[in-house]
Structure 1
Amino acid sequence: MLPPLKSLPVFETVARLSSFSLAANELNVSQSAVSHQIKILENHLGESLFYRQGRNVELTKEGRHYLDVISNSLLQIAQATNQIKGEQTTRIRLAVYSSFAVYWLIPRLPDLKRLYPNLELSIEMSHGSPDLSDRTADFFITVEKEKRGFLFEPLYQERLFPVCSQSYLETIKNELNITPNNELADQLSTKPGSLADFSLITSYSIYDRHTEDWKRWFANLKLPLPDSIQFHRFSHLMLAYEAAKHSLGIALVNDYMINEKDEETPLVKLPCHSVKTGENFYLAYKESRRNEDAIKFLRDWLRKEAKALS
């Protein structure tokens, strides 16, 4: 038996906004009308769909499951309606890690806009792995690689490499009595451990503890982490990047945080080895939505742009 169909878009809106009043504003109806439709649906299902907590609401376990099942169906109904009406849906929500969004994605968005001027992209920034659900976004960049109903495409294998500001680079060269850049490359290729003579910037957002990033970098050279290193400690890779930009020392950052084609990039990649973190980034989207134009546009563009990171 079909549920009361009028209640379904009301349920989806309340679940997405976590609020009866915000849902009422979006749907242009009264809050009591929203509450009435939710009550009708709950009575039909015989289950509570929301926990009420003052002005905010939260999905119950049954509510989350029901939303996951029906949300894609509602989207397909809307798309079929738009196709019959001759309207093409080009709105899409992309969930992406904060550092990836700030340093890699946003600088490239003008190119995406020129290529696909009708694509309306909304960015959902995440500090951790985003929940792979229509409630969160339509398209994801994630290190997750398995969930039923989703397709995953490899995007990027994460590496960390040392960077510093231009002024701190001059400090390094002065301390090592080096003038030409090629001599710096020679010095760091034969004695990469000499970086331990300078202040190093560490963050724990990748390995969950400070100095582990540099410990692995030195271990890759079969060298121990020297006890004499002066560390500046930060919680997140973005803070380490900013600290290096302000000449606090040498940081380990991702490939995607440096755009070597940009002459205004505030950091310089030092001529020495990188270390793989073991994490792989993937493009993820629902298999049932793989043929949507917005999904295909964004997928193809991201794959093309990511080739430079390989």
Structure 2
Amino acid sequence: MAPHLPLSALRAFEAATRTGSFRLAADDLGLTPSAVSHAIRGLERDLGTVLFEREGRSIRLTPEGQTLMRHVERGFGELQLGIGSVAARRPQLLKLHSAPSFAAQWLVPRLMRLLQECEGLELRIAASTEYTRFLADEFDADIVYGAPPPEYYGSANHQGVIVLPLGTEIVTPLCAPSLAPTIRSARDLFAQTLIQSDTKRVRWPAWFAANGLAAPAPGGPRFDRSFISISAAADGLGVALESTRLAEREIASGRLVRPLAGICEDVVYTGHWLVFPRAKRYARSMVLFLGWLTKELGLDVKLDDLRAEQTENT
């Protein structure tokens, strides 16, 4: 006979490890903190080991607790995947928040392929420059521009988040084909209208520095979104310094060209990151989207290799 599997106690243990607190675990499970504490103490007694170090209201996993946590997390994740597979005919909704230019320039042009390849997935997209806090299940995942700051993992986000870099991007001068013949060196850009992107992590001074020059004083039009700068450059307004990932449609169609490709140094950096709560990583909608996204970007990512960024919470 198979040994008794204390599922209720394991649920309490999983919730406590995910939230970092017996009190928050109780809120998550609809129990009292004392009930959660009692369930975990019973589990410790049955296993003959201590799973948490307790200091007042603070808890911290022991080495034995960390070992059990990895197996419990994987086990509940497999259950989620199994239930999701059985219920695969039901729509799988993913509520996604995204940086505006990534959504407009990269994601939306691929939506038809995404929905064709991920049968049953429904996608709801909102775009802004704010970081979502994953409160009240408003969003399941966030594609952010720039690495999230440490406070992103703070007290408003008890469950911990997984932060996945979405590969590197090439930032290079881009212009309409009509301007390209006049640009043969980095110095030729001094005579051009340089489109300024106010919110970019990589701007003209960084690109000129990479090519051994001081940037000219800013004087061109200024925009706060990459998709506007890309559109302006394609219309012949000037030269934009933008990511080839975000401008790939315009480059592929010939509306934009790289006049200094192979001549000057470009800036390569990680611009975008996928962030989502650890508790969501085995949800079927997340598994479908994450598999498609990493394949589309050429990233080698395994679900079980993902680890959460988390601060200690009480």
Query: TM-score, normalising length from structure 1?
Result: 0.59
Matches within 5 A, 1:268-307: 268-270=257-259, 271=261, 272-276=264-268, 280-307=271-298
Higher relative contact order (CA 8 A, sep 6+): 2
Pair 1:294–1:71, CA change in 2 (3 A): farther
Which of the residues 230, 237, 244 maps onto 2:226?
A: 237
Pair 1:72–1:252, CA change in 2 (3 A): farther
Q: Which residue of 1 aligns with 2:140?
A: 138
Question: Is 265-274 or 293-302 further displaced after alignment?
Answer: 265-274
Q: Which residue of 2 aligns with 1:218?
A: 208
CA distance in 2, matches of 1:254, 1:306: 14
CA distance in 1, matches of 2:84, 2:282: 14
CA distance in 1, matches of 2:251, 2:203: 26
Shift of 1:161: 1.2
Pair 1:72–1:221, CA change in 2 (3 A): farther
The answer to whether the 8 Å contact 2:85/2:284 transfers is: no
Matches within 5 A, 1:241-280: 241-259=230-248, 263-264=252-253, 266-270=255-259, 271=261, 272-276=264-268, 280=271
Aligned AA (2:205): K
Aligned AA (1:92): L
Pair 1:219–1:84, CA change in 2 (3 A): closer
Q: Which residue of 2 aligns with 1:201?
A: 195
Which of the residues 122, 125, 128 maps onto 2:127?
A: 125
- Unpaired runs of 5+ residues, structure 1, are 1-64, 177-186
The answer to whether the 8 Å contact 1:164/1:267 transfers is: yes
Matches within 5 A, 1:83-232: 86=87, 88-142=90-144, 143-144=147-148, 147=153, 148-169=159-180, 173=181, 175=182, 187-188=184-185, 192-207=186-201, 213-227=203-217, 230-232=219-221
Secondary structure in structure 1 of the residue aligned to 2:248: coil
Matches within 5 A, 1:68-83: 70=28
CA distance in 2, matches of 1:283, 1:71: 27
The answer to whether the 8 Å contact 1:145/1:282 transfers is: no
Q: Deviations over 1:190-234 (max 9, x none)?
A: xx2222221111111125xxxx7111111111211235x752222
Secondary structure in structure 2 of the residue aligned to 1:114: helix
CA distance in 2, matches of 1:298, 1:236: 25
The answer to whether the 8 Å contact 1:155/1:306 transfers is: yes
CA distance in 2, matches of 1:71, 1:96: 30
The answer to whether the 8 Å contact 2:118/2:292 transfers is: no
Shift of 1:280: 4.2
CA distance in 2, matches of 1:216, 1:107: 30
Aligned AA (1:98): P
CA distance in 2, matches of 1:214, 1:71: 51
Pair 1:265–1:98, CA change in 2 (3 A): farther
Question: How much identity, in percent, do the aligned residues show?
Answer: 25
Aligned alpha-carbon RMSD (Å): 3.7
Query: TM-score, normalising length from structure 2?
Result: 0.59
Secondary structure in structure 2 of the residue aligned to 1:127: coil
Pair 1:153–1:233, CA change in 2 (3 A): closer
Shift of 1:117: 2.7
The answer to whether the 8 Å contact 2:95/2:124 transfers is: yes
- Unpaired runs of 5+ residues, structure 2, are 1-22, 32-75, 154-158, 300-314
Pair 1:145–1:289, CA change in 2 (3 A): farther
Shift of 1:289: 2.1
CA distance in 2, matches of 1:302, 1:291: 15
Shift of 1:83: 6.4
Question: Is 141-150 or 115-124 further displaced after alignment?
Answer: 141-150
